Amino acid sequence: MKTMKAVVFKEKNRIAVEEVPRPAPRAGEAVIRITTTTICGTDVHIVRGEYPVKPGLVLGHEPVGVIEELGAGLEETYAVGQRVIVGAITPCGQCFYCLNGAHSQCGGALGGWRFGNTINGAWAEYLLVPDARANLAPIPPGLTDEDVMLCPDIFSTGLSGAESGNIRVGDSVAVFAQGPIGLCATLGAKLKGASLIIGIDSVERRLEVARRLGANVTLNINDGDPVREIKRLTEGRGVDVAIEALGRQETFESALRAIRPGGTLSSLGVYSGKLVAPYEAFYAGLGDQKIVTTLCPGGKERMRRLMAMIATHRVDLTSLVTHQFALDDIQEALDLFSHQRDGVLKVALYPHAARAGVRETVAAGERDELC
Ligand SMILES: [Zn+2]
Ligand SMILES: [Zn+2]
């Protein structure tokens, strides 16, 4: 039996790089050789045991790679050796939810999220892609792995916050939290035509990136209540759309207080425990407000659209890729990412790279662009 290197979830706070069986595709499935992947905030929750997965599962849900092997029925559409990405969400395209347009909920609640959740994920040398015809998205010529590395999850999710908020040309928008997803929501608000985009965070460096990606005002929560300032900037009304990109009671509440009557709260955060809407911010339930939630849209058509924005230079996310590691150095990468050290936004992981070489490249100065 062929094996491969992969990062396996062992138990709460313990992962390990191990040799595991290499997958083989059945009809309609494909195996890709992972060339680049990354770490998501959700992975941190999983490793800490805050989101349960089975011990023995290979983690990671952001694959960039090359088609290694095709199952029956795919030869006419794809070729071995083709460079592809696959969304973090892999809808089947055929079930009740998919055919009702809720692709991320494929098969049931959150069911479209399979990689590193219900099936083996992308922190490995090889990845089995289910429903390959719906999910393998060829990378346009000329784009690097790092160019498209944020499409499977972060760009898709962040942008979806702006899309679900139904931002219209000339809208005012506040984006609460400017981590990688919040930054992509800020960019999404710009792409959707918002006139006033307010980025909110506590980290000055992130606010600086927010200004580069589209925020025309940034507010540091250490300087005082952002809601009061948002009201002041919008003639006392509040914004048309607020996007929540953290998943905490405080930011949810601030986002709710920040929208005008009839406005929309578009929520991207992953919450735990009970979430409370205060009576006065909710206008006692009579404020014509909309609260919408979105799980990362996936599937190959979504990926094609996102990569088209990058190929035509309408979007450039490479400044968010701040650090690079070999997959063997996952512990170090995870430690850096989860503690937000050294100005990290996203780390690139290379399953086939030797350990030391990758970090030397970073030390040589690629990171300077962001700092
Ligand atoms: Zn993710
Ligand atoms: Zn489905």
Residues 370 and 209: beta-carbon distance below 8 Å: yes
Residue that is written with structure tokens 């959700």 in the block? 42
Q: What are the strands, taking DSSP E only, across 119-276?
A: 126-129, 137-138, 172-176, 196-201, 217-220, 239-244, 259-267
Tell whether pTM > 0.85: yes
* SS3 at position 109: coil
List, run by run, the mean pLDDT of 10-residue segments along the chain (371 residues).
Answer: 96 97 98 98 95 97 98 97 98 98 97 98 98 98 98 98 98 98 98 98 97 98 97 98 97 98 97 91 95 98 98 97 97 96 96 70 39 29
Q: Return phi, psi of residue 291, to 5°.
A: -120, 120
Q: Which residues surround ligand 1, an ion (CB under 5 A)?
A: 40, 42, 153
**Closest ligand, as measured to the CA of 113:** 1
Buried/exposed 168-180: b ≥16 CB within 10 Å, e otherwise: eeebbbbbbbbbb
- Cα of 43 vs centre of ligand 1, distance in Å, is 7
Question: What pLDDT, on a 0 to 100 scale, did the predictor assign at position 144?
Answer: 98
- Cα of 88 vs centre of ligand 1, distance in Å, is 7
Question: What pLDDT, on a 0 to 100 scale, did the predictor assign at position 104?
Answer: 98
Question: What pLDDT, on a 0 to 100 scale, did the predictor assign at position 364?
Answer: 40
Q: In terms of residues, how long is the chain? A: 371
How many Cα neighbours within 13 Å face the side chain of 260? Answer: 15
**Closest ligand, as measured to the CA of 97:** 2
Question: What pLDDT, on a 0 to 100 scale, did the predictor assign at position 1?
Answer: 86
